[in-house]
Chains A and B, each alone.
Chain A
Amino acid sequence: MDFNFTPEEEAFRDEVRAFLDENLPENGTRDMEAVAEFQRRIREKRWVGFSWPKEIGGGGGSIMEQVILKEEMARRKAPALGACFMGLAWVAPALIEYGTEEQKQRFIPDILDGKYQWCTGYSEPGSGSDLASLQCRAVREGDEYIVNGQKIWTSIAMWSKWMILLVRTQTDVEAKHDGISCLLVEMESPGLTVRPIKNMAGGDMFAEVFFDDVRVPVENRLGEENQGWKVTVSALAHERSSISEVYGLTRSLERIKVLAKSCHRNGRPASEDPGFRSRFARADARIEAMRLNGMRFLTKQLRGEPLGSETSINKLHRAQLEIELGELALEIEGGLGVLVQGDSAVPDDGLWQRHALSWPEVVIGGGTPNIQKNIIAERVLGLPKD
């Protein structure tokens, strides 16, 4: 056990720090132009797609270097590493593993440059947690697939140029995971309609997407026909340290600390209330556990040991913590917790009210807590499937 870094790793950390000193936008993420310029420069450093092979424009960074880069970026609240979130998170990794040479050339540079957005068409009205039951249909006709059906909860569909789409290309299959294919679809294709859905916070970040005889060239299929499940769930060689998440949660906790000193309970600062103190500490211990769990996963990865479903541990912690921190903050605010941004008496400019209305992005968006528990119970503990 040793939590120190090698001189080479420390040198890389210094390089990142020096870069951030020089290039970090002054106004955080508010000034869009400054953020774009910053992202152009980290792209030049090859820190976007840092883990990917150099041949395809990645940075060829080692796992430890990725961790250090992420850590320094998070420490300084830097803008995201690259502008094309979903493209970077799973489209490009799938392209790297399953794409044709031509597909790679066509899409990966744009994803690295953040030229446009990608969205993800997996969920359907009848297929959420049970994703493999999906029904959106694609029938092959010559060099094209004709797509009919519907997707839902498609984040940023209205601002995306491309979609990574899962469709059913075969219906008479034994296992529902078979017969699914993965297509890359232009959002401007004729027959494709996007209808935004308003969420409980009042924003419209996701949408329904309808397919009415949408034609997709066969060359835009990613991976083999009927092998789409494998393509999209393939274990991506990601670094699993949860660093950015831990920094985000730590920052929330620090803000709660300040909030608790300014809010009152029975005429005393809320921070003196033993119940609140205990809940603060409980969250603090769990965030630290997440950080350390991440380091244990990382150590396994570095030793070349297989990393399995235990990473669901941190997903569940994060889901619970996102909810709990929002609840704790609103309870600390007491009566004022009912106000929202724009009211002159709302604490912290309504930050916690926004938080209390946004946790589903984390808690539901990436697989629900029940599904994570199933994964652990079945794949780690060896209990029967339900």
Chain B
Amino acid sequence: MNFGFTEEQELLRAEVRKFLDQNCPLEEVRKLCETPEGFSRSLWERMAELGWVGLTISEEGGGVGLGWVDLVVVLEEVGRSLFPSPLLSTVLAAKAVDLNGTEAQKSRWLPGLADGSRIGAVAITGDEGRLDAAGIALEGRPDGDDFTLDGEKLLVMDAQNADILVVAFRTGSGEEDLSLAVVERSAKGLNIEPHRTMDLTRRMGRLHFDGVRVSADALLGSAGSAWAAIEHLQDCAAAAVCAEMVGAAEGALKLTTDFANQRVQFGQLIGRFQGVKHPLAEMFIDIESFKSLCYYAAWLLDECSPEAPLAVSRAKAYASESFARIGVDSVQLHGAVGYTWEYDIQLYLKRAKWARPAFGDAEHHYQRVAKLRGF
């Protein structure tokens, strides 16, 4: 029994943290937010060279072949730094291909994703971020062995920068009518419109499909039987977002604790007031707890355990609920400077607003936990 990371994983964490601290402190993050692309191509390329982009991609696909537990280590640090990049999206798109693609499809798409030359994105939820099968509305009309897509997808992470999009669509009204396919950016009839997001470190977009043709060889798995794969991808995504939330929440706690240890009012450090120190202690308790849930969920995903969905939902529910509160409380504990554009704490509040509903909010996941636990 061992619920900790290996030496290699700790080393990986230290390297990622050093890289981000040196190359992308929060001033740099703010600058990237102002750019049209919203991230740094050069840092992205270096991360790919270091093997972090292809970390979870199979070795045959040109990646390192590690698991979600290893990814958690990287994403925690990425979250802590609020580092803007299409890492999460690319990893998920690759996962979809890796798990569901044929050999031909893997060799067609994975190497480019692994070496960072092509960016991936996933459009696997319904509008308003709905996660159930019925929520997936994009329609695909069979046309011989091919399909023609008409409709749209909202809230697609990193859509605007993506070269390869993994898209869920339906050909009928049931759960057994869902399919998953790769659509390339260059596809005719595909139009990508950026969303305006509160969290500027997180780019999202709206996909318009106007008769976009999906050929049979772009289908991941067989037509109409993709729901299990989609649900699994959503779980992988939720666990990955949780890992970022762990890091980001720790970042917010650190900023706020440092502030409480330096701001003086009534002749003493405000960190001495229990109205300040107790909320900080509560943040710590919650972060450590959803951290445990997140690690365990990642491990179960790697083990392909049937318990993974329950573990993911427990983690994402707890994380969504408490990170949202941490965002608000940490701004409040800063007083007025916390409300300024200049102070960094607001960046974490905005991240919490993004992360809360991403791949299921607390209420969604608590309801799923109740169901899976037979309540």
Residues of A within 8 A of B (CB): 1-5, 9, 64, 67, 257, 260, 271, 274, 277-278, 280-282, 284-286, 288-290, 292-293, 295-296, 298-300, 302-303, 310, 313, 316-317, 370, 372-374, 376-378, 380-386
Q: How far is the CB of B73 from chain A (nearest CB, A)?
A: 11
Tell me the bound Cα distance from A108 to B110 in angstroms: 66
What 6 pairs across the A-B complex have the smallest Cβ distances?
A: A292-B292, A281-B369, A289-B289, A377-B277, A281-B366, A277-B370
Report yes or no: B367 in contact with A3, Cβ–Cβ below 8 A.
Answer: no
Q: Contact mask B321-344 → A, CB, 8 Å, 1/0?
A: 100000000000000000000000
* B293 and A292 contact, CB distance less than 8 A: yes
Q: Are B277 and A296 in contact (CB under 8 A)?
A: no
Residue B295 is within 8 A (CB to CB) of chain A in the complex = yes
| Pairwise interchain contact A292-B295, C-beta atoms closer than 8 A | yes
Q: Is B19 an interface residue (CB 8 A)?
A: no
- Among A310, A313, A373, the residue within 8 A (CB) of B277 is A373
CB of A285 within 8 A of CB of B317, answer: yes
- Complex CA distance for A213 and B137, rounded to whole angstroms: 83
The residue from B1, B4, B284 contacting A300, defined by CB atoms under 8 A apart: B4
In the bound assembly, the distance between CA atoms of A378 and B257 in angstroms comes to: 11
The reply to whether A285 and B299 form a contact with Cβ atoms under 8 Å apart is no
> What 1/0 flags go to B283-321 for Cβ under 8 Å of A?
011001110110110010000000000010011011001
Contact A299–B2 (Cβ < 8 Å): yes
| Distance, CA A67 to CA B4, complexed state (A) | 17
**What chain A residues lie within 8 Å of B289 (beta carbons)?**
286, 289-290, 293, 313, 317
29 contacts across the A-B interface (CB closer than 8 A): A1-B3, A1-B299, A2-B2, A3-B1, A3-B3, A5-B1, A67-B1, A257-B373, A281-B375, A282-B321, A284-B373, A286-B289, A286-B318, A289-B292, A292-B292, A292-B293, A293-B289, A296-B295, A313-B284, A313-B288, A317-B285, A317-B289, A373-B274, A374-B281, A378-B277, A381-B281, A383-B272, A383-B280, A386-B272
Known: A280-B375, A376-B281. A1 touches B314 (CB 8 A): no
Q: Are B293 and A377 in contact (CB under 8 A)?
A: no
The listed residue with most B CB atoms (<10 A of its CB), out of A1, A2, A3, A310, is A1
- CB-CB under 8 A from A381, the residues of chain B are 253, 257, 277, 280-281, 284
Establish whether residues B375 and A257, one from each chain, have CB atoms under 8 Å apart when the complex forms.
Answer: yes
Contact A298 B257 (CB under 8 A): no
Whole-angstrom distance between the Cβ of A292 and the nearest chain B Cβ:
4
Give the Cβ gap from A368 to chain B, nearest Cβ, in Å.
12
Q: Chain A residues with Cβ under 8 A from B1's Cβ? A: 2-5, 9, 64, 67, 295, 298-299, 302
Which of B6, B318, B368: most chain A CB closer than 10 A? B318
Closest Cβ–Cβ distance, residue A177 to chain B (whole Å): 20
Alpha-carbon distance between A278 and B321 when the two chains are bound, in angstroms? 12
Tell me whether A386 and B288 are in contact (CB under 8 A). Answer: no
A residues less than 8 Å from B284 (CB atoms): 313, 376, 380-381
CB nearest to A292 among chain B residues: B292
Q: Is the CB of B374 within 8 A of A257?
A: yes
- Give the distance in Å from the alpha carbon of A290 to the alpha carbon of B318 in the complex: 13
Q: Does the CB pair B318–A271 fall under 8 Å?
A: no
Instruction: Beyond A290-B289, A370-B274, list 18 extra A-B contacts (CB 8 Å).
Output: A1-B69, A277-B370, A278-B367, A281-B375, A285-B314, A286-B289, A289-B314, A293-B289, A296-B295, A299-B2, A302-B1, A313-B284, A317-B285, A372-B281, A377-B278, A378-B277, A384-B271, A384-B272
Q: Are A281 and B367 interface neighbours, CB within 8 A?
A: yes
In the complex, the answer to whether A384 meets B269 with C-beta atoms within 8 Å is: yes
The distance from the CB of B68 to the nearest CB of chain A, in whole angstroms, is 10
Q: Which of A3, A298, A310 has the most CB of B within 10 A?
A: A3
Tell which of A260, A288, A299, A373 touches B4, judged by Cβ atoms closer than 8 Å: A299
With contacts A3-B1, A285-B293 taken as known, whether A373 is within 8 angstroms of B281 at the C-beta atoms is yes
Contact status A281-B281, CB under 8 Å: no
Q: Is the CB of B363 closer than 8 A to any CB of chain A?
A: yes
Q: How far is the CA of A299 from the CA of B1 in the complex (A)?
A: 8
The interface residues of chain A lying within 8 Å CB-to-CB of B277 are 373-374, 377-378, 381, 383, 386
User: What residues of B have a CB within 8 angstroms of the CB of A260 in the complex?
Assistant: 375
B373 & A281 in contact (Cβ 8 Å cutoff): yes
- Taking the closest CB of chain B, its distance from the CB of A220, in whole angstroms, is 39
Residue of B nearest to A274 (CB): B367
A62 nearest CB across to chain B (Å): 12
Tell whether, in the assembled complex, residue A383 and residue B282 are in contact, meaning their CB atoms are under 8 Å apart.
Answer: no
Interface centre among A260, A281, A316 (most CB of B within 10 A): A281
Pick the contact of B369: A284, A317, A376 (CB < 8 A). Answer: A284
CA distance A271 to B278 in the complex (A): 34
Contact B293 A288 (CB under 8 A): yes
Partner of B285, one of A277, A280, A285, A313: A313
Contacts of A2 in B (CB 8 A): 1-2
Residues of B within 8 A of A67 (CB): 1
Complex alpha-carbon distance, A292 and B298, angstroms: 13
Task: Please tell me if the beta carbons of B260 and A383 are within 8 angstroms of each other in the complex.
Answer: yes
* B23 touches A (CB below 8 Å): no
In the complex, A5→B311 CA distance in Å?
20
Residue with the greatest number of chain B CB neighbours at <10 A, chosen from A278, A285, A303, A383: A285
- Closest Cβ of chain B to A166, distance in Å, is 26
Indicate whether A288 sits within 8 Å of B314 (C-beta atoms), given known contacts A278-B367, A299-B1: yes
Contact A278 B363 (CB under 8 A): yes
Q: Which residue of A lies closest to B271 (CB)?
A: A383
Contact residue among B253, B272, B278, B295 (Cβ-Cβ distance under 8 Å from A370): B278
Q: Which residues of A contact B273 (CB under 8 A)?
A: 386
B261 within 8 A of A: yes
